[in-house]
Structure 1
């Protein structure tokens, strides 16, 4: 794959580059969001990367420059796969990233990069058009929604919902929870009914529905 990485940490950028090159990929690195946007301005559709990996916080303010660049580039190239890295769980950033089409999008914590297999799996799923949300992000989003419609869900439905929000298919959920696919389908239908969300067979649409519902629930302040 052709991969573009935007990361201001020299060590992390070098480490990711070495890892991905060793896996047979072609990697181009940038240190700032401005460099990234400028580089894309000269690319033809055929020259677009197979996936963009970017940190949320980039120079000069180290707030959300990387995320803004990713959202901007997705607006110009809607099918561009993007995997966003974040140091902390920041719900506002996750919500902004997934506000539109959730296909070929990922949001994972930097700690996940330390597990090479998990990182490569997330990268591959996003490049293939899938949706990847870090389990810790899902866990904290769900923890912030107590006293809401989530109270209607059974413990098993909570587990299924968390895996749904990570972008897992019914088959993957069944394998993870050691239950049958038919049982997963029943749980999904029940979850969407209890959350007043219409059932939908499209995995991406249901992820979007879950995330949009979570956006409108009470939240605590983000970590800085």
Structure 2
């Protein structure tokens, strides 16, 4: 896999490059900021871009704005945001920009190299990986969607796990129910959120509705322990 890294911390940038190279990937470019990002993408045609959120010169939102720009142009390269921060103003826009090939992980919560490399592979293959903390912070900020009140607690649990990027099999395992039950709950969610088949990727639209609603007390499943990002499936 051809990977571009855009990260202002030289130690982290070099560390990521070595880690990815040792895993058999080709790091085609290492950038300290986003100023040469577009030129590097054009020159090297990477499969995946790993981007920090806050980089020089302002150290505010250069990286995440670059990620939005990349996503707006198409499905190459895939984008993995790796940051210390949840940039709430833009995270939902990134999720909405398309269902394929996107991840948002928090640096301080990536505690296992194997999990990180799995997330890299999953995003590059078109999956979606969201740290539960990213989902949680968005939930606390979004306005209430009246449609969400129609969902049962179990349907909310299923939808919350979908928002973390869990596939149906993983949801079934987390909730100790059958995959058939998961499919029925998802169908009910689509119906109650008024998402018809012609609406496009209903799974992504349902997750966006979930992110637009505040967290309901007792409606969400237990999350993994801190430091364990979800990497068990993609939003379909």
TMscore range, shorter length:
0.7 to 0.9
User: Match of 2:189?
Assistant: 191
Q: Is the 8 A contact 1:125 1:132 kept in 2?
A: yes
Aligned-partner Cα distance in 1 for 2:17–2:103: 19
User: Match of 2:66?
Assistant: 69
Q: State yes or no: 1:210 paired with 2:211.
A: no
What 5-or-longer segments of structure 2 have no aligned partner? 216-236
CA RMSD of aligned residues (A): 2.6
User: Match of 1:49?
Assistant: 46
**Could you tell me how far 1:88 is from its partner in structure 2?**
2.3
Q: Is the 8 A contact 1:112 1:118 kept in 2?
A: no
User: Match of 2:127?
Assistant: 130
**Higher mean C-alpha displacement, 76-85 vs 49-58:** 76-85
**Could you tell me how far 1:211 is from its partner in structure 2?**
4.0
User: Match of 1:98?
Assistant: 95
**Higher mean C-alpha displacement, 158-167 vs 147-156:** 147-156
Match runs of 1:17-166 below 5 Å: 17-27=17-27, 28-41=29-42, 43=43, 47-144=44-141, 148-149=145-146, 150-166=148-164
Q: How has the CA–CA distance of structure 1 residues 138 and 199 changed in structure 2, closer, same or farther, with 3 Å as cutoff? A: farther
User: Match of 1:172?
Assistant: 170
Q: How has the CA–CA distance of structure 1 residues 111 and 9 changed in structure 2, closer, same or farther, with 3 Å as cutoff? A: same
Give the count of matched residue pairs.
213
Q: Is the 8 A contact 1:145 1:214 kept in 2?
A: no
Q: How has the CA–CA distance of structure 1 residues 159 and 215 changed in structure 2, closer, same or farther, with 3 Å as cutoff? A: closer
What 5-or-longer segments of structure 1 have no aligned partner? 220-224
User: Match of 1:222?
Assistant: none
